Amino acid sequence: MRLDASVIPPSNRVRMTTDCNTSLLVLQDRDMNVQRIERSLAELPNERATTQGKIDGYTAEIEAGRQRVKEMEVRGKSIEAEIAEVENQALKYKNQQLLVKKNEEYQALTHEIESTEKKTSELEEQEIELLYELDEARKTQGESEVEWNEKIDAEKRFLGRLDEKESQLNSEIDAARAALAQVKGEIDPPSLSVYQRVSRGLKFPIIVALRDSKCEGCHMRVSASVEVETRKGTEITTCDNCGRILYWDA
Ligand SMILES: [Zn+2]
């Protein structure tokens, strides 16, 4: 429950005999506000790093995809070079064949020529298969890049919003700190010191209602004397379980 003076019904405000409790509630409200702004500002570097990490991840995906396409292109070129080499070899055999005299040498070259032709057709098949795969890979890469770039743009817009959030918070923080300092100055030092002691190590809210004999902070039943003191409201009373400052709320 968010607690500040404005949420306490007027009837209860009357019961809080000290103005001090009301000031403390205002103090708590402003304290929480300053802490909220500070927390938001402190989270910004993390949020930025996470967002930048996503952008880097998508960029790396694009790069990896391009690299895969490039590798296929290189493989295609190497198959082409191999085909040229094998065809060149076949041509050499054919020229040699024109010069040989012996039948068995002629036959051996015929065999070599046949095997180079077989090799050529195998390589050509590989090339066709690769070209088909390359075509697919380029298409997929193009589509993926559109998607990744959309994601990158979204993250970049988010980074822009974080910048806006930062300037907004920076413009709020000074006013919030000034408002906090102002109310601190208005509270009597003993009450302020109780508040500061209680606020250390406890989670907000640290000023809570005492309702049905229970502390609204820790939900434990308080002792009878704490209840009596809180009801009187002449001085600051704290919960004997959790230490939060109590105000009476019948
Ligand atoms: Zn308590």
For the chain, 250 residues long, give each residue's pLDDT as a single digit of tens.
344 444 444 333 333 445 557 889 999 999 999 999 999 999 999 999 999 999 999 999 999 999 999 999 999 999 999 999 999 999 999 999 999 999 999 999 999 999 999 999 999 999 999 999 999 999 999 999 999 999 999 999 999 999 999 999 999 999 999 999 999 999 989 889 999 999 998 999 999 999 999 999 999 999 999 999 999 988 889 999 999 999 998 6
Q: Domain residues for 89? A: 39-178
Alpha carbon of 216 to ligand 1 centroid (Å): 7
Alpha carbon of 220 to ligand 1 centroid (Å): 6
CA dihedral over 25, 28, 32, 33, signed as positive or negative: positive
Alpha carbon of 205 to ligand 1 centroid (Å): 11
Alpha carbon of 105 to ligand 1 centroid (Å): 106
Q: Which residue type sits at 65?
A: G
Rounded-to-integer distance, Cα 193 and Cα 197, Å: 6
Alpha carbon of 152 to ligand 1 centroid (Å): 48
Rounded-to-integer distance, Cα 151 and Cα 44, Å: 20
Domain of 53, CATH number, reads 1.10.287.1490
Alpha carbon of 209 to ligand 1 centroid (Å): 9
Q: What is the pLDDT of residue 235?
A: 85
Q: Does any domain span residue 168?
A: yes
Alpha carbon of 93 to ligand 1 centroid (Å): 99
Alpha carbon of 207 to ligand 1 centroid (Å): 10
Alpha carbon of 243 to ligand 1 centroid (Å): 6
Q: What is the pLDDT of residue 233?
A: 86
Q: Does any domain span residue 203?
A: no
Q: Does any domain span residue 141?
A: yes
Alpha carbon of 31 to ligand 1 centroid (Å): 20
Q: Does any domain span residue 107?
A: yes
Rounded-to-integer distance, Cα 176 and Cα 39, Å: 13
The 3-state DSSP class for residue 215 equals strand
Alpha carbon of 108 to ligand 1 centroid (Å): 102
Q: Does any domain span residue 64?
A: yes
pTM for this model (two decimals):
0.71
Alpha carbon of 74 to ligand 1 centroid (Å): 72
Count up the domains in the chain and report the number: 1
Q: Does any domain span residue 243?
A: no
Q: Does any domain span residue 62?
A: yes
Alpha carbon of 94 to ligand 1 centroid (Å): 101
Q: What is the pLDDT of residue 18?
A: 52
Alpha carbon of 166 to ligand 1 centroid (Å): 36
Name all contacts of 123-131 with Cβ < 8 Å and 24+ positions apart. Answer: 123/79, 123/82, 123/83, 123/86, 124/83, 126/79, 127/76, 127/79, 127/80, 127/83, 130/72, 130/75, 130/76, 130/79, 131/76
Alpha carbon of 64 to ligand 1 centroid (Å): 57
Q: Does any domain span residue 234?
A: no
Q: What is the pLDDT of residue 234?
A: 85
Q: What is the pLDDT of residue 249?
A: 81
